[in-house]
Amino acid sequence: MLAPADSTLATVPTFNALSDIYTSDLLKHAARFQLLTEAFIATYGFKPSFIVRAPGRVNIIGEHIDYCGFPVFPMAIVPDSLIAVRATREHRIRLANINPKYPSREFSCESGSSVTINNTTHEWTNYFKCGYKGAIEAIDCTNPQGMECLMDSSVPSSAGLSSSSAIVCCAVLATMKVNGRLLPKGDVVETAVASERYIGTNGGGMDQTTSIMSQSQSAVFIEFDPELKITPVKFPSTDPQITFVIANTLVVSDKAVTAPVCYNLRVVETRIGALILAKHLGIADHRACKDADPLTFKVVMDEYFATQDTAGSDDVQVWIDHLDAMLHASTEAFGAHPDGYTREQMAAVLDMTPDALSAAVHEDRFPVRAQQFKLLQRAQHAFSEALRVVKFRQICESGNTRIDYYTALGDLMNCSQDSCRDLFECSCPEIDELCALARRSGSFGSRLTGAGWGGCTVHLVLKDRVGRFIAALKREFYEKHVPNMKDEALSDAIFVTTPGNGAAFYMFD
């Protein structure tokens, strides 16, 4: 159920001027679009009808809690995926990539249900196929148009900046537009989220929502439960200006490949945690919990406090009080198993067989491998991280000039990294090293961003110190780990970012 907000009901915009999409470096973007257009003509013999773009994202705070139902605080970045598209009368989808390391593919243009996706093979076109399949199903298209597509992406892959989701979003939008039925943004988000699960990753929706819904100069506070709600939030006006630097550890962690022992395992741990917490709180038989599929920590929290009268109360304080209470309850519920549960122990708590428990959390679609399930640590991270997100937004919107914004926001980011490392165990030695170095070099807040286990980090830095900060990281991290790295690759690995626009179509004059 989507919130009746203008942003979710509007459609993805169409522009014929790059200045409506990008706010800086227009000559650079124009050259890239021209190169893509010329490459399309060289590949297919015709000019594309349009180019669809969807940006990557950086999550400022709120890691691994979207699939727990809690709000997150990301922003779109300038790096994006582009797909040049031309409709054809043939019943084929032809896919090519401007990067020669990705081979061209094609598949039959049929109904969505007939599109096969082999998620056991790490293949770049799988992400397009996911978006195509989901879009055809969402618009109930029985006779889809053929397409010729050429892709280019400036979002680093397997880096925690949602390169895969940007491709899926582009594919969804391209398929809908070619087939003459472009759904509202909110429905596009839901389609993209469902589509990406065909690859075998049980994601929560932050990446696709940010890519589709973002606005220039604003981060987005995204709420998922009880309905999708997007609130643009500007960072505080400070002097020097708050700036965010993205630094890639260059440790590759593809979440689709490692899902059974990393990403999907964390999802399953939080879902089983929600089932056990609901039973501990005596609400497992309430309709809200019984009907929820999946049951999340957010649903459990809301149902536990459903009868509480909060009329006239400050919304932020209600959030804080409820999350604090859930932190205490999770310690009571899971504290007897600080080293984790076996499957048999979890099933026994829930009066289920292990097989029934696996079915309840959909392991048939998203299998996991683990001997111990650390429910205490995962719950503590989820509730405390949600608390940090709420406080981060509160500080940004406070308008209190007496606040030391740099320290207040930076401390929350640092605590988030500590929790990701110690409780959710999704960091890695290179992330820890880079964050520690960044703090010594002038960052007020440093943390992993994205799924973790490698990929990128994000750092809150004063604008007038960015040059010195980046130079320090290049010297003490990149020269150490990748001594012969070329300047262009280094510029892609560490860069300043500002909140960018969401997805758009570019039409030729």
Q: What are phi and psi of 193, to 5 degrees?
A: -60, -50
Sheet strand arrangement including 242-248: 445-448, 456-462, 242-248, 494-497
Q: What are phi and psi of 501, to 5 degrees?
A: -75, 160
The verdict on whether 207 is a catalytic residue reads yes
| CA 499 to centroid of chain Cα atoms | 15
Q: Which DSSP category does 341 fall into?
A: B
Contact 386, 323 (CB under 8 A): yes
Question: Which DSSP category does 402 fall into?
Answer: T
**In b/e form, how buried is each residue of 76-90, taking b as 16+ CB within 10 angstroms?**
bbbbbbbbbbbbbee
Q: In 3D, which of 296, 290, 247, 309 has the Cα closest to residue 267?
A: 296
- Is the bond leading into 103 cis (omega within 30 degrees of zero)? no
Cα separation, 69 vs 173, whole angstroms: 25
Contact indicator for 165, 213 with CB cutoff of 8 Å: no
Which member of 152, 207, 225, 254 is catalytic? Answer: 207
| Distance of alpha carbon 287 from alpha carbon 398, whole angstroms | 37
Helix (H), strand (E) at residue 480:
helix 479-481
> How far, in whole angstroms, is CA 424 from its chain's centroid?
17
Other CB atoms within 10 A of residue 133 CB:
23
Instruction: Give the single-character DSSP code of 503.
Output: -
Lookup: tokens for 112? 């969505």
Catalytic residues: 207
